[in-house]
Amino acid sequence: MAFTPLKETYPGKVYSVTIGMGNKAVTFGGENVLPFHAFEGIVPNKPVVAYEIQDMPPADWPENVRKPYEGVSDDPVTWAKYCQDVLKARAIALRLISTHPDRENRSPEDAAKTVSDVLSAIDIPLIILGSNHAEKDASVLVAAAGAAKDRNCIIGKAQEANYKTIAAAAIANNHKLIAMSELDINLSKQLNILVTQMGFDKERLITDPMCSALGYGLEYTYSVMERIKLAALAQNDATMQQPMLGDIGMYVWKVKETQASETDLPQWGSVEERGITWEAVTATSLLLAGAALLIMWHPKAIEAVEKVIEELI
């Protein structure tokens, strides 16, 4: 007798989000099943991996993740073009880290010029991120959103402390928006509700439940993402049906395992291979938890993750 596998079906569906312009636009989300369960339902779009670049040289990045960008990372425009033209990135995430008051405290006007210059140099989608200083981001991201008007970018991250200003800027300039809460499904739901109550279209929103690296709370991150995904599908909760972001690089490349030297810990093996593997495993785990958009640092880690995506799809 032929084997007929049991199939799980769900009443809910994740919204699909498109960013970018023309034939270089990318779409993620849109599925009505658990991650990669195409045998049970519809998985119309692959997860998207974006290469992170910054608006200042990444001097605080570990050497092994700075090396692939040597000679291009001193200038965000050159860096962006390298990711697009040489590394064949599908999307770029520009982090305006220099605007943080503890960094160079650059002005919103400076940030707007950087965004404009990068957009002039590339034709793939751009994700525009602040410095994660809630007060400063409120002004920086307003200026950045205006500089990118009608280019269908993602702006972020909106938090409870600044979501009104940033969401209004995203609406006015026709962008998508990241809403970030701190690893709590109830806080994530509350923020999504607050943003949409402002008139922001719930189908233009991306949920960032925050992230953690392998060995540093990944299980908790996984469980929060999984609960959000199940709420979207099994409970058909429209406030939880936004695709999820995993902002991975900034968490992975600061942990001991990606930086400890082979001299100090020879039993851990090659520090370069270890770091790449740490980022790739973290990213793959969050894909399995339900993330549809990833922001990563190392090209080899991204290459490994994109291979996994192709195999699972």
Looking at the structure of the chain, the number of domains it has is 1
21 within a domain of the structure (yes/no) = no
Query: CATH number of the domain that 244 lies in?
Result: 3.20.20.20
Domain for residue 48, yes or no?
Answer: yes
What pLDDT does 156 receive?
Answer: 94
Look at residue 158 and tell me if it is in a domain: yes
Quick one: 22 exposed, middle or buried, by C-beta within 10 A (0-12, 13-18, 19+)? exposed
> Cα–Cα distance between 254 and 275 in angstroms, integer?
10
Which DSSP letter does residue 247 get? E
What is the pTM (predicted TM-score) of this model? 0.95
Amino acid 313: pLDDT: 86
- pLDDT grade for 31, boundaries at 50, 70 and 90: very high
In a domain, 201, yes or no: yes
Q: Nearest to residue 283, comparing CAs of 272, 295, 300?
A: 295
In a domain, 1, yes or no: no
Is residue 257 domain-resident?
yes
- From residue 208, how far is each of 147, 212, 270 by CA, in Å? 24, 12, 32
pLDDT of 39 higher than 80: yes
Residue 22 within a domain = no
| Structural domain boundaries enclosing 270 | 37-312
Write the pLDDT tens digit of every residue in 126-160.
999 999 999 999 999 999 999 999 999 999 999 99
Q: For residues 178 and 212, give the distance between their C-alpha atoms in angstroms, rounded to a whole number.
A: 17
**How far apart, in whole angstroms, are the C-alpha atoms of residue 295 and residue 171?**
23
Q: What DSSP element (H or E) covers 239?
A: none
Q: Does any domain span residue 169?
A: yes
Mean pLDDT computed over every residue of the chain: 96
Q: If pLDDT is split at 50, 70 and 90, which confidence band does 2 have? A: confident
Tell me the C-alpha distance between 17 and 313, whole Å.
18
Query: If you average pLDDT over residues 174-200, what whole number do you get?
Result: 96
Burial of 99: CB neighbours in 10 Å, binned 0-12, 13-18, 19+: buried
pLDDT at position 191 is 97
